[in-house]
Amino acid sequence: MKTKSTNLFTFISSSLAVISCFIATSMPISLMAIWTKELNMSSAQLAVTMLSYFSGCIVSLLFLAKLSNAIGRKKAVLCALVCAFISTSFFIDCTDVFYLNAGRFIQGIYCGIITGSAMSWAVDSAPSGKEWLGTAMSVAGASLGLMLGSLIAGIGVNFNLITGDRLFEIFLGFTLFLAIMICLSKESLKTEFSLKKLFTVLIPTFKLPRGKFAFFIMAAIGYIGSWGQTSFFQALSSKIALLMFNDENNVVLLTALIYLTVTLPNAAGGFAVGGLNPVKSLKIIMPLTFVIGSIMFLTIAFPHIVIFFITLTTLSFLIGAGLSLLLKILLTGSAVTERADIISFLYFMAYVGSAIPNLLIGKVFTNASFIQISFGFIGWIFLYTALVFILNLYLSKPKR
């Protein structure tokens, strides 16, 4: 029988595993401005680094999504921390684009395992009476980590308080500390290991609770669309910073500021709607997302700093709220053994879909201007928000 204190410690440990994972993945985004200059990287090469990360996530979510079902949540998270240690090592004294892409790819493997194990673990171990915290952590924890990583790297490196290499060295130490916490946490999915079971979970499968398929389609569209537009900032925040401010001396800080504006309101939105009715709320959030998102991308096409930050803040909050509500709908009524499959496949779809814009920018429309890219994203936002809005209306109708 698990005690409340033990459960709380486990929730904190699993939540830290989620948050720290995304701290790790966001630090290279802020430092990309430095690598862009040192390695003379083009916009296409920057997009490819994002694709390397997405590729690692996709491989991991496809083949390692249910790893925790075979070895337990605890051991799966420890495997993820090994990937964290290896990937972080690639960024220390990085002098070649190859090492940068290799580090981002392994970082994607790390993130994929965390998605299937630590996020499910957080849902399993959420404090009694506040079960919504587990769902919120699965969405907002990622945004919180992205925010902290970009803020730490942006301020620290821009003001010469710390070097990028030292940041990654500190993270290596924190990874070892977190591994100890994970070892002391309580397993929520006890399972007897066997090679047969391991090989079985490594085979990609997709299984949803009865009656959840249509809701999964709606959630997948929302995640693909939302992640697609936010991935634009992961790859090109440094370029946007130069476009908006034309200040090369503080580009690292300005890059972090822009990404902070993406991630902090996103995390706040995920937690803010925890107790709301998801069906009713989505009917308001989806139209607002399209309107505010369109205005935001217009301020990139035709630069206006003040309106850009106002609309980006609002849009990020709406995205975090929408993702949290969609996941809440999807996880309602799910069993412990089903959560890894549900969350992992949802995030798999999100990574695959969100890689599309970066693939187009990095490999097809390599010479596209910011104006062309911005109008393309306005069309992207309209498509996914309209589909989620219509599906939500249809699925919420009383069944005859």
- Report pLDDT digits (tens) over 296-317: 999 988 888 899 999 999 999 9
**Torsion angles phi and psi, residue 358, rounded to 5:** -65, -35
pLDDT for 12 equals 92
Amino acid at 139: V
Q: Which of 86, 124, 93 is nearest to 108 (CA)?
A: 86
> How far lies 226's CA from each of 44, 61, 66, 381, in Å?
22, 18, 24, 8
pTM value surpassing 0.85: no
Amino acid at 164: G
For residue 212 the two structure tokens come to 């959840």
Parts of the chain with a pLDDT under 50 = 1-6
Q: Are 91 and 164 in contact (CB under 8 A)?
A: yes
Can you list the positions of beta strands (E) in 275-354?
Answer: none
Amino acid at 9: F
pLDDT for 366 equals 66
What angle is formed at CA 169 by the lines to CA 165 and CA 173, rounded to 5 degrees? Answer: 165
pLDDT for 384 equals 95
Q: Which of 74, 147, 73, 158 is nearest to 339 (CA)?
A: 73
Q: Are 391 and 218 in contact (CB under 8 A)?
A: yes
pLDDT for 400 equals 55
For residue 308 the two structure tokens come to 């850009």
Task: Please give the Cα distance from 385 to 324 (Å, whole number).
Answer: 15
CATH fit for domain 4-395, picks 3.40.630.30, 3.30.70.270, 1.20.1250.20, 1.20.140.10: 1.20.1250.20
pLDDT for 174 equals 96
pLDDT for 1 equals 38
Q: What are 256-284's pLDDT values in tens digits?
A: 788 778 878 888 888 888 778 888 999 99
**Torsion angles phi and psi, residue 368, rounded to 5:** -65, 140
DSSP state of 85: H
pLDDT for 338 equals 75
To the nearest 10 degrees (0 to 180), the angle between helices 213-245 and 305-331 is 160
> How far lies 250's CA from each of 28, 43, 194, in Å?
16, 19, 53
